[in-house]
Amino acid sequence: MSAYKLLLLPGDGIGPEISAEAEKVIDFLGQAGVAKFEVERGLVGGSAYDAHGVAISEGDMALAQAADAVLLAAVGGPKWDGVPYDVRPEAGLLRLRKDLALFANLRPAICYPALADASSLKRELVDGLDIMIVRELTGGVYFGEPKEVVTLENGEKRAVDTQVYTTHEIERIGRVAFELARKRNNKVTSSEKANVMKSGHLWREVITALHKREYPDVKLEHMLADALGMQLVRWPKQFDVICTDNLFGDMLSDVASMLTGSLGMLPSASLGAADASGKRHAMYEPCHGSAPDIAGKGIANPIAMIGSLGMALRYSFDNAKAADAIDNAIAGVLAKGLRTIDIKGDAPTSISTAQMGDAIVAEL
Amino acid sequence: MSAYKLLLLPGDGIGPEISAEAEKVIDFLGQAGVAKFEVERGLVGGSAYDAHGVAISEGDMALAQAADAVLLAAVGGPKWDGVPYDVRPEAGLLRLRKDLALFANLRPAICYPALADASSLKRELVDGLDIMIVRELTGGVYFGEPKEVVTLENGEKRAVDTQVYTTHEIERIGRVAFELARKRNNKVTSSEKANVMKSGHLWREVITALHKREYPDVKLEHMLADALGMQLVRWPKQFDVICTDNLFGDMLSDVASMLTGSLGMLPSASLGAADASGKRHAMYEPCHGSAPDIAGKGIANPIAMIGSLGMALRYSFDNAKAADAIDNAIAGVLAKGLRTIDIKGDAPTSISTAQMGDAIVAEL
Ligand SMILES: CC(C)[C@H](C(=O)O)[C@@H](O)C(=O)O
Ligand SMILES: CC(C)[C@H](C(=O)O)[C@@H](O)C(=O)O
């Protein structure tokens, strides 16, 4: 069995704590002979800034390029609020996305039945919820140029960000959404603000044409992004796959994941296109952030991080067996009533980050 | 008593139906001698396109400029999906906002106790909710240039929208938010994506400086727009006044209004700056849209429209007495258990648009 080359980037805040639990799983899978990893470790975000003065070093970028997959925990925190814009923690994450060309971000919003009461929505609205948000990740207002602040003659400042999308960028993310829908409930909701944005207008045009040409069997609907935000709150189960741009995807996926009451449990995958040799870059991360307020307390939920490792096994390493084992172990500990504080609900007690990691390894 | 010059723009979809109910209130207030209106009527959106081939005619724009306030119902609908971009229904609304320089959009998200069960959130999370979203309305990605689609040499299209903000645009909307907070619970949450957008970075810088200089007595916090979307769903009562840009305000206000279960009840105000003579343009509209799916059925809720008339009396016509009377009449009919279908909840029956309008007039 050849080893999977994995770059682990614990990042900031609770990142190192939850990464340690993922490493327990990595070690266990290796010892059990289920999956062999060659793990490199690197720095990203504030921790990279503290060490190297940049949000990710050239050395770590080279490791990311060489790896089969990157497993990243989270970046950012108030400690780095004052650092220059170009080296702020998020710049490391954005560079990884851009340089590895990870254009397709898959963000599931799943409500685990055991956690339906943890949602702020009424139970019947979210119980069994299973949405997949497909977010475009290397274009739009995140990367378009010009992106600058200039000082005007009158002393005022003027800031500009540019939203840009081209036909092929929209087509390739649309394809990812339609393909996923075919394996799910066969419905795609494409979302933009075609009523006020030219990029939204083009988005709708390209998705409509792609649908007609290549995916007429999939049900397609268009919904304005503001209306979609509303509908997520009103009746989330109407959605199957949501396909949207970088900025709307950022907001809508956060709203969707919060509905589930399972924020600490949701993994995500960011995938590139395959090159001539068939190699495809990929990065896996929890949907939650670095949670600086609870960092260092040993109470963070490692499940999204361990689930992200599971996604890596499934999508990058083609090891569905190991991925299933991880998903089952997570379901197993939940069924036993084990809860970290974020998903505690009415449970009598909660366990620590390390206890949750240990319990998942024991279950494996 | 001099007459208030009001331009009524019923627009599309349910617009004409709910406008008819607002007119009943206008007539009643006139007959009762509480408020005298000089009402002009115009077309906007799809109805203007059908009549004139544009989303608002020059004649109606001149009426809007001359009016003390504009009362607009709603624009848009699938009927006009295929019309050219520049004359789509929304273009009329956007032109009114821009040409009247209505930079401050006030969108309350209020949960009426009688309707708390109509929310998809658990009752305790929304009961008594009272948030004011202050949205910048004449800048950002809605209006920035370039805004275009070009065809590239390889036949692909490339669409561009531009987000632009200057110091003074941010300052003036910040002032509106801080002033409102002083009359409410003294807290402003300013929201952007400073971690990925230069305009967000400038936004945070300008709001922070303004706060320090002019409003140190108000509590200020900054929250990223994606996190704010989450927090609105998780624990909305943490907010008092939210201050944000045009696009984030569009999305966040829709999410917030949906929380309340009162979407058909929420009015909004869009205000300009006072000119040398003290005159200030203003437009009042329901937060909800044109709801083409229920148009013509006589079941739409006219309360947000009538409430918008109330806001006009309060903010443009300085007639708090009449505004209070309207608010009390609305509360009165709700207390009597009268409900249109959108807020029916567990009520035994629902009433029509016209019955609701009549009931409010009777209550007055
Ligand atoms: C940390 C930040 C740059 C990032 C984003 O805005 O994309 C995050 O919010 C996310 O959703 O992954
Ligand atoms: C109709 C549309 C142009 C408008 C907007 O995007 O501003 C609407 O969604 C709103 O919030 O008033």
Count CB neighbours of B97 within 10 A: 21
Confidence (pLDDT) at B261: 84
Same domain for A13 and A123? Answer: no
**Which candidate in B143, B230, B244 is best for mutational testing of the A interface (most A CBs within 10 A)?**
B230
Lining residues, ligand 2, CB within 6 Å: A 195-196, 226; B 76, 90, 93, 250
Work out the pLDDT band at B343, boundaries 50, 70, 90: confident
* Catalytic residue status for A24: no
Q: Is A39 exposed, middle or buried (0-12, 13-18, 19+ CB in 10 A)?
A: middle
Same domain for B221 and B276? Answer: no
Q: What pTM, to 2 d.p., does this model score?
A: 0.95
Confidence (pLDDT) at A114: 79
Confidence (pLDDT) at A279: 84
Query: When comparing pLDDT for B344 and A173, which is higher?
Result: A173
Helices (H), ranges, chain B: 15-31, 46-52, 58-66, 89-99, 123-126, 167-183, 198-214, 225-234, 246-259, 303-315, 320-335, 353-363
Determine the structural domain holding residue B255 and report its residue range: 109-263
Between A and B, how many CB-CB pairs are < 8 A? 174
Average pLDDT over chain B, rounded to an integer: 95
Does residue A54 contact residue A93 with C-beta atoms inside 8 Å? no
CA gap A330, A361 in Å, rounded = 9
Q: Which of A131-145, B110-124, B291-305 has the lowest mean pLDDT?
A: B110-124
Residue nearest to atom 8 of ligand 2 (CA): B250
The alpha carbon of B205 and the centre of ligand 1 are apart by a number of angstroms equal to 20
Of B263, B286, B321, the position where a domain reaches its end is: B263
In chain A, the number of structural domains is 2
Given a cut of 80, whether residue B1 has pLDDT beyond it is no
* Catalytic residue status for B212: no
CA gap A221, A204 in Å, rounded = 10
Q: Single out the catalytic residue among A215, A250, A315, A342.
A: A250
Residue A50 neighbours by CB under 8 Å, 6+ apart: none
Summarised one tens digit per residue, pLDDT across range A195-236 is: 999 999 999 999 999 999 999 999 999 999 999 999 999 999
Amino acid at B77: G
Residue nearest to atom 3 of ligand 1 (CA): A90
Side-chain-side CA neighbours of B212 within 13 Å: the count stands at: 6
Same domain for A256 and A147? Answer: yes
Q: Which of A81-85, A324-328, B94-98, B265-269 has the lowest mean pLDDT?
A: A81-85
Site to substitute for ligand 2 among B9, B44, B86, B90, most atoms within 8 A of C-beta: B90
Given a cut of 90, whether residue A313 has pLDDT beyond it is yes
Q: Which pair of tokens denotes residue A5?
A: 């080359």
For B:220-279, CB contacts with A below 8 A are: 225-227, 229-230, 232-235, 247-248, 250-252, 254-255, 257-259, 263
Same domain for B89 and B222? Answer: no
CA gap A208, A222 in Å, rounded = 9
Residue A298 neighbours by CB under 8 Å, 6+ apart: A17, A352, A353, A354
Please tell me whether the peptide bond between B302 and the residue prior to it is cis, using omega within 30 degrees of 0.
no
CA gap A260, A263 in Å, rounded = 7
Buried b (16+ CB within 10 A) or exposed e, B242-266: bbbbbbbbbbbbbbbbbbbbbbbbb
Same domain for A160 and A251? Answer: yes
Does residue B355 contact residue B343 with C-beta atoms inside 8 Å? no
CA gap B206, A243 in Å, rounded = 34
Q: Which pair of tokens denotes residue A21?
A: 């639990």
Q: Which of A305-309, B31-35, B346-350 has the lowest mean pLDDT?
A: B346-350
Of A234, A264, A294, the position where a domain reaches its end is: A264
Q: Are the Cβ atoms of B201 and A149 closer than 8 angstroms?
A: yes
Phi-psi region of A224 (alpha: psi -120 to 50; beta: other; left: phi over 0): beta
The alpha carbon of B250 and the centre of ligand 2 are apart by a number of angstroms equal to 6
In this complex, the residue of A120, A206, A232 whose CB is nearest that of residue B121 is A120
Work out the pLDDT band at A348, boundaries 50, 70, 90: confident
Summarised one tens digit per residue, pLDDT across range B263-295 is: 889 999 999 998 888 789 999 999 999 999 999
Q: Single out the catalytic residue among A4, A49, A142, A315.
A: A142
CA gap A64, A42 in Å, rounded = 9
Give A118→chain B minimum CA distance, Å. 10
Q: Which pair of tokens denotes residue A138?
A: 């290397």
Amino acid at B274: A
Q: Are the Cβ atoms of A160 and B164 closer than 8 angstroms?
A: yes
Q: Which pair of tokens denotes residue B148?
A: 């275009």
CA gap B74, B89 in Å, rounded = 10
Residue nearest to atom 6 of ligand 2 (CA): B250
Nearest Cα to Cα of residue B20 among B327, B295, B363: B295
Q: Which pair of tokens denotes residue B209?
A: 């400086």
Same domain for B305 and B219? Answer: no
* Catalytic residue status for A226: yes
Confidence (pLDDT) at B38: 97
CA gap B33, A243 in Å, rounded = 55
* Mean pLDDT of the region B198-224: 98
Q: Are the Cβ atoms of B233 and A199 closer than 8 angstroms?
A: no
Work out the pLDDT band at A1, boundaries 50, 70, 90: low
Q: Are the Cβ atoms of B148 and A88 closer than 8 angstroms?
A: no
Q: Which of A10-14, A85-89, A341-345 has the lowest mean pLDDT?
A: A341-345
CATH number at residue A170: 3.40.718.10
Give A208→chain B minimum CA distance, Å. 13
Summarised one tens digit per residue, pLDDT across range B99-115 is: 999 999 999 999 988 78
Give the DSSP H or E segment for B157: strand B157-166
- Give just the sign of the alpha carbon dihedral B61, B63, B69, B70: negative
Does residue B227 contact residue B263 with C-beta atoms inside 8 Å? no
Same domain for A258 and A117? Answer: yes
Same domain for B257 and B279? Answer: no
* Mean pLDDT of the region A179-207: 97
Is residue B364 helix, strand or coil? coil
Same domain for B297 and B181? Answer: no
Amino acid at A31: Q
Strand A282-286: give its sheet, edge to edge: A37-41, A4-11, A69-74, A282-286, A267-271, A104-110, A130-136, A241-244, A187-192, A219-224
Lining residues, ligand 1, CB within 6 Å: A 76, 90, 93, 250; B 195-196, 226
The strand pair at A219-224 and A187-192 is best described as parallel
Confidence (pLDDT) at A118: 85
Of B263, B288, B305, the position where a domain reaches its end is: B263
* Mean pLDDT of the region A7-13: 98
Highest mean pLDDT among A103-117, A185-199, A253-267, A327-341: A185-199
Nearest chain A residue to B193 by CA distance is A247
Average pLDDT over chain A, rounded to an integer: 95
Give A109→chain B minimum CA distance, Å. 13
Same domain for B258 and B281? Answer: no
Confidence (pLDDT) at A72: 98
* Catalytic residue status for B315: no
Q: Which pair of tokens denotes residue B294?
A: 């229920």
Given a cut of 90, whether residue A343 has pLDDT beyond it is no
Same domain for A96 and A109? Answer: no
Same domain for A198 and A114? Answer: yes
Output the CA angle B252-B254-B257, nearest 5 degrees: 105
CA gap A114, A125 in Å, rounded = 14
Q: What residues of chain A lie within 8 A of the CB of B233, using their CB?
A: 120-121, 233, 255, 258-259
The bound ligand whose nearest atom lies closest to the alpha carbon of A254 is 1
* Mean pLDDT of the region B160-178: 98
Q: Which pair of tokens denotes residue A225?
A: 């992004």
User: CA B354 → CA B18, B310, B320, B357, distances in Å?
Assistant: 8, 18, 25, 5
Is residue B236 helix, strand or coil? helix
Given a cut of 70, whether residue B34 has pLDDT beyond it is yes
B157 touches chain A (CB under 8 A): yes
